[in-house]
Amino acid sequence: MALINKRRLFLALGAIVVAFWMVMVSLLIRKTHFQEGGQTAGTSVHAEQESPERFQHDWMEIYLKGKKVGFSETRVSPTGEDHLIREKMVLALKLMGQPSVMRMATRAVVDKGFSLKQFSLVIDSGVIRFRVSGKVEADGMIVEMGEGDRKREQLIPITGPVTIGAGLPGFFKGRALVVGDVFRFTLFDPSTLSHKEMRMEVTGKRVISVKGMKYPAFRLETKVWGQTLVFWLSEEGVLLKEEGFMGLTLVRSDEARAPQDVEGSAGADFYDAAAIPVKQTLNRAREITYLKLKVKGLGDTGFDLAVLNEGRQKLSGDVLEIFQEQGPSGAPSKKPTADVAPHVKPFLSPEITIQSDDPALVEKAREIAGDAKGSRVMAKKLLAWVYENVEKRPVTSVPDALSVLETRVGDCNEHAVLLTALLRAAGIPARECAGIVYTDHRFFYHAWTEAYLDRWISMDATLNQMPTDATHIKLVHGGLDKQAELMALMGKLQLDIVDYTHDSID
């Protein structure tokens, strides 16, 4: 039983990278609204594209390091002045030997220039079913999550047009391309509720092979979160092939071939592809209180290094030190009041995936806390409850606290979002963190929580730690929109352990 529990714990540790890879897949499949930008122009100019008169139906096969792991299907139907876009995607990944299948379905209405009007997205992991919808208004996008009394709304400020769905094929179909052309656009990703300004350039032209057929093709390149994405289009503007990070490739296919050999294969093992190996072995990693290492691969990624010099972390040149925090003082537990510091107040408020004001979460936090009088004792009780009551299993979906409370299943993402929500429901400021943690001779991307108990204290509900050991290296804090920034480091980050200790902090 101990061996089984240890394996389940290990499976849950690095699962955050699956969420990021899902984002990258959706970036390749869910294209954006493009704008033409002249080489000498200071700003981009929106280019209206005539609506295609015929129904479009496209299939893509999804590969990871040469192994087929899924497929996508896109349908575009003219509906008066607009277009209805329907997409579905199936991904079958292997996570430490365990098969995991995720299905994603998107429905969107766009105008004749493929600018988004409204959308809905469903992600089904077989355990958790995530739903989100949105509608573009004058001052931004109104996003909704949940149903009935549990429906949540959030305004995402956006200026200018954005789109999801088949924006790229619709924009380029029939368009004459020239090497050196530059296009600027805005990307919106519904799974992370984030958007980015991006630039795409036509960098070359050559003959490529797709499913045994040769095509003269234009090569278009862009960068997102520090990762290069490459698109190959035929001379008629038909999308032939797309290449992402970590060996991700999408290839044009057809209805007969695209769905074949996906669910049964379970694809490549994803954890091994995302892990950061180190030459040195850290003994008794969960007891380490100080870690010193050299870091490479941060340059030219656009990644914000500020968090590496906050709290218990110190970055000097390429040397990073992590110091385990001293235990927090027993400050009294209370609901948000006017004397809470301004920089802490936002971490008491509910969010669209952290429904800390929901009656079910408030009642559960009250039940777990019992007669605890201090914030520290209350936080430890909440931590222990999540650790003991959420089954540790990889879940390929977007985590939200209420769903995790109901299903009691998840990986580090689900543990972190539920603990964060319970802490806020109990009146303790809390935030999600993401970074890397050491286990089994490697560092894995991981998620945990910080609670404000007179200062920020790290808490890991997957490992039942408060504070966490010093192999927890925080890279960002915030929701998936912030955590997605970690994609800039994947495949580039290199670590060399210099020193570590197990000194007691008690």
- Alpha helices for 336-411 (secondary structure H): 359-369, 375-389, 401-407
Model pLDDT, residue 305: 86
Please report, for residues 18, 21, 88, 396, the alpha-carbon distance to residue 411 in angstroms, rounded to integers and kept in the order given: 10, 15, 24, 9
Backbone Cα Rg of the chain: 23
Distance CA 287, CA 281 (A): 14
Distance CA 294, CA 475 (A): 15
Distance CA 392, CA 245 (A): 27
Strand, coil or helix: 252: strand
Model pLDDT, residue 501: 96
Distance CA 201, CA 179 (A): 8
Model pLDDT, residue 272: 66
- Listed by start position, the domains of the chain span 22-253, 275-500
Model pLDDT, residue 35: 35
Model pLDDT, residue 31: 40
Longest CA–CA span in the chain (Å) reads: 72
Model pLDDT, residue 171: 66
Of residues 130, 76, 474, 194, the one with CA closest to residue 306: 474
Distance CA 65, CA 77 (A): 33
Omega within 30 of 0 (cis) for the link into 169 = no
pLDDT tens for residues 211-245? 889 999 999 998 877 778 888 988 888 889 988 77
Q: Is the CB of residue 249 less than 8 Å from the CB of residue 231?
A: no
Instruction: Record the pTM.
Output: 0.78
Distance CA 108, CA 74 (A): 11
Q: Is the CB of residue 505 less than 8 Å from the CB of residue 289?
A: yes
Q: Return the sign of the alpha-carbon dihedral for residues 424, 429, 433, 439.
A: negative
Of residues 83, 85, 84, 103, the one with CA closest to residue 93: 103
Cβ-based burial of 206 (10 A; exposed 0-12, middle 13-18, buried ≥19): exposed
Of residues 101, 99, 76, the one with CA closest to residue 86: 76
Compute how many other C-beta atoms are within 10 angstroms of the C-beta atom of residue 442. 17
Of residues 164, 124, 119, the one with CA closest to residue 143: 119
Q: Does domain 275-500 have CATH number 3.40.640.10?
A: no
DSSP 16-51: HHHHHHHHHHHHHHS--EEEE--SS-SS-EE---PP
Model pLDDT, residue 339: 60
Angle at 41 between CA 39 and CA 47, to 5 degrees: 90
Model pLDDT, residue 341: 79
Strands 227-234 and 213-224: antiparallel
Q: Is the CB of residue 285 less than 8 Å from the CB of residue 471?
A: yes
Residues 6+ apart with CB under 8 A from 364: 405, 422, 425
Model pLDDT, residue 3: 32
**Regions of the chain short of the pLDDT cut 50:** 1-17, 29-52, 165-166, 264-267, 330-338, 505-506
Residues 6+ apart with CB under 8 A from 449: 416, 419, 420, 423, 430, 431, 432, 433, 458, 459, 460, 461
Of residues 267, 224, 355, the one with CA closest to residue 90: 267
Compute how many other C-beta atoms are within 10 angstroms of the C-beta atom of residue 336. 15
Phi-psi group of 367: left, alpha or beta (phi > 0 → left; psi -120 to 50 → alpha; rest → beta): alpha
What does DSSP assign to residue 327?
A: P
Phi and psi at 77, nearest 5°, equal -125, 120
Distance CA 472, CA 154 (A): 31
